[in-house]
Amino acid sequence: MANEQDELNPFQFGRELGSDSLVDRKEEVAEIVRTIRQGGKLFLIGPRRFGKTSILKTAAEQLTEKSAVIVRLDAESYSSLDLLVTALVALAAKHLTGEVKKAGTLIGQFFSRIRPELEYNPQENTWSARLGVDTSRHHHATLLVEAFNGFERLAQAQPERRPVGLIIDEFQKVIELGGPSAEGQIRAAIQTHKRAGYVFAGSKTRMLSAMVGDASRPFYRLGSVRFLGPVPRDDFRRFLTEKFTSGGFKIDEGAVDHLMDAASNVPYNIQMLAHTCWTDLRTPGIHHPRLSIAAIDQILHRIVMRQDPFYTLLWNRLTSVQQMTLLALIRLEGRNLQSSKAIAMVGKAPATIRKSVHLMIESGILREEESLNSVRMVFEDPFFEKWIAAVILLTRE
């Protein structure tokens, strides 16, 4: 029964969405499509759970429909660069339609420097690859560069109108795996590529922004950079209103906005909260379930408390300075963390608070949110903030 309900549920979270279910993001998708069509280079950088992967997927779908050759990889799925390279080659092979044997030969030619050995599985129409070079003797960043060069050769061999693109998600992982020299090597190779398009996306805002925004780093001005902002609020409001309404819900005034606020505008959290409101409020026999502010708050509390063991663990792993900093941050709504008020709340010097904030950004608990003329510290997971407010703050006050 639960599964049936889930299938009907218009709010989906925790998986990559495609063009049929994505709210807005048209510009971002169009920019990726354009970049690949023109053989350009683009970095897409955004906070966690803002929809980067869904945007990449949608763009890839659009391009593939027009018979482009698109290889899309998530660097987080590979524990070493040679495995990523192997996947790249296998996926590239899949696009070379026509005779299987010929495709194998062609891939062998394009990627000759890494000597791929390919195997075709006709049942599943998939390829698997092995690298013929001794991977223990090669620096893995060199293998990756050779794979990029092979990809460019493959691109050049395609008819002029057929776009060819390589999309790598969680790109910071490539640099982590490849070591400090990887950045320079990758740049040196792909800056000469004119035919293949490259889109690199990532979530560790600081790390990737430093990579592309620091003039002393190799990726500086290698391509364009797009920072992903939130989904426009009006569009999300319209989407939520329409889906709840067509599901027979009566919506109280301000309830949809309250739902988006409760999720701090993070798309993943909005969808999760909306999903649970949908399942929990639709009781058999009631034709018009009501989406009210009180109901949203109750459901939110339940979601947050379901995660209690996880959040408790997360909280207990923090140092006491970090814990105090988070409490101050909630009370001050993320602003003025260097003020005398904040110093009094944490009981530590400004430098100590700064360091603790910095560490929590590095570990993915906090992120900086820039608006026109100010910077605010926010929780990467807004429900962790709710948990702290409900469990820790309440008991201390």
Ligand X SMILES: Nc1ncnc2c1ncn2[C@@H]1O[C@H](COP(=O)(O)OP(=O)(O)OP(=O)(O)O)[C@@H](O)[C@H]1O
Q: Which residues are near ligand X by CB under 6 A?
A: 12-17, 22-25, 46, 48-54, 203, 231, 267-268, 271
Question: Cβ 342 to ligand X, closest distance in Å?
Answer: 29
Nearer to Mg ion, 48 or 238 (CB): 48
Nearer to Mg ion, 53 or 62 (CB): 53
* Residue from the set 11, 24, 41, 53 that interacts with Mg ion by CB under 5 A: 53
The interface partner of residue 50, options being Mg ion, ligand X, none and the CB cut-off 5 to 8 Å by kind, is: ligand X
Nearer to Mg ion, 42 or 129 (CB): 42
The interface partner of residue 49, options being Mg ion, ligand X, none and the CB cut-off 5 to 8 Å by kind, is: ligand X
The interface partner of residue 51, options being ligand X, Mg ion, none and the CB cut-off 5 to 8 Å by kind, is: ligand X
Other Cβ atoms within 10 Å of 244 Cβ, number: 23
Question: Cβ 170 to ligand X, closest distance in Å?
Answer: 7
Pairing mode of beta strands 197-202, 126-131? unpaired
Number of residues that bind Mg ion (CB under 5 A): 2
Nearer to ligand X, 99 or 362 (CB): 362
Question: Cβ 58 to ligand X, closest distance in Å?
Answer: 9
The interface partner of residue 25, options being ligand X, Mg ion, none and the CB cut-off 5 to 8 Å by kind, is: ligand X
β-bridge mates for residue 226, sequence order: 44
Distance from the first to the final alpha carbon of the chain: 43
Nearest to 323 by CA among 366, 382, 263, 266: 366
Q: Which long-range contacts (CB under 8 A, 24 or more apart) does 21-26 make?
A: 22/51, 22/54, 22/55, 22/58, 23/231, 23/235, 23/236, 23/239, 23/267, 24/231, 24/232, 24/235, 24/236, 25/51, 25/54, 25/55, 25/58, 25/231
Pairing mode of beta strands 224-227, 41-45? parallel
Are the C-beta atoms of residues 17 and 58 closer than 8 Å to each other?
yes
Nearer to Mg ion, 53 or 269 (CB): 53
Instruction: State how far the alpha carbon of 39 is from the alpha carbons of 168, 236, 330, in Å.
Output: 15, 32, 45
- Torsion angle (degrees, nearest 10) of CA 343, 349, 355, 361: 0
**Using CA atoms, how far apart are residues 149 and 131, in angstroms rounded to an integer?**
15
Question: Cβ 15 to Mg ion, closest distance in Å?
Answer: 10
**Using CA atoms, how far apart are residues 144 and 83, in angstroms rounded to an integer?**
10
Does 172 sit near Mg ion (CB under 5 A)? no
Stretch that binds Mg ion, among 51-59, 301-309, 331-339, 376-384 (CB under 5 A): 51-59
Q: How many residues does the chain have?
A: 397
Nearer to ligand X, 12 or 307 (CB): 12
Chain centroid to CA 165:
19
Question: Cβ 175 to Mg ion, closest distance in Å?
Answer: 17
Using CB positions, name the residue nearest to ligand X.
Answer: 51
Nearer to ligand X, 53 or 172 (CB): 53
Residues that bind Mg ion (CB under 5 A): 52-53
